[in-house]
Amino acid sequence: MSAGYRLGSALFWLVGWALAWLFFRDDAAQLPPAAKWMAYALGIVVPAWLLYRIARSLADLLAPAEVTGQVLTVSQVGTFGDPDVYEQLSRSVPWFVDWNRRRTGGPRLTPEGGIVGLYFVVVDDGRSDETQPWVATPKLADRCAPGTVVRLRGQRWARRMLAAEPA
């Protein structure tokens, strides 16, 4: 999930939580003591968690991570959908399908008949013994062949690759 989507959903839930708290705070005061303390605790914990998600999303959007390392593997995230439905979509909304292909380079059809929209790209930057995959569009995954050294820019918490180029 990209940082922009996470930011929007966290803001949506924060506003919804604030509105619910405004409308039901008088009802919370009439609850039994244990339930009242639980409601007040949730009134603090949930907004704090949402504010934390907003801060992480803003950090991803405003200061993307830059990583240089060797590509260990590139693999499909999974297949989904029906190619016939995708072809039907491309006939009924061709401008959207063309825009999506130009923007992301995909989705792509597999020999088995599934649709691949995303890839996992594992890059070893030498910082630790463990590596985590970055999520890449087909266009970005094409730039990352196993064994090559790449410089990528991405969202550190969403693990979403924004750009990739040979180092």
Mind listing the pLDDT tens digit for each residue in 37-58? 888 888 889 999 999 999 998 9
Q: What's residue 121's pLDDT?
A: 93
Q: What is the pLDDT of residues 111-166, one digit of tens each?
A: 666 677 788 999 999 888 888 899 988 888 888 999 999 999 999 888 889 999 99
Q: How many CB atoms lie under 10 A from the CB of residue 136? A: 26
> 82: pLDDT confidence band, cut at 50, 70 and 90?
low
Distance CA 83, CA 116 (A): 10
Write the DSSP string, 71-122. EEEEEE---BS-HHHHHHHHHHSHHHHHHHHHHH---EE-TTS-EE--EEEE
In the chain, % of residues over pLDDT 90: 31
- Average pLDDT (98-117) is 69
Tokens at 137, concatenated: 């569009």
Q: Is residue 101 scored above 80 in pLDDT?
A: no
pTM value > 0.85: no
Looking at domain 65-166, which CATH architecture does it have? Beta Barrel (2.40)
Tokens at 48, concatenated: 């704090």
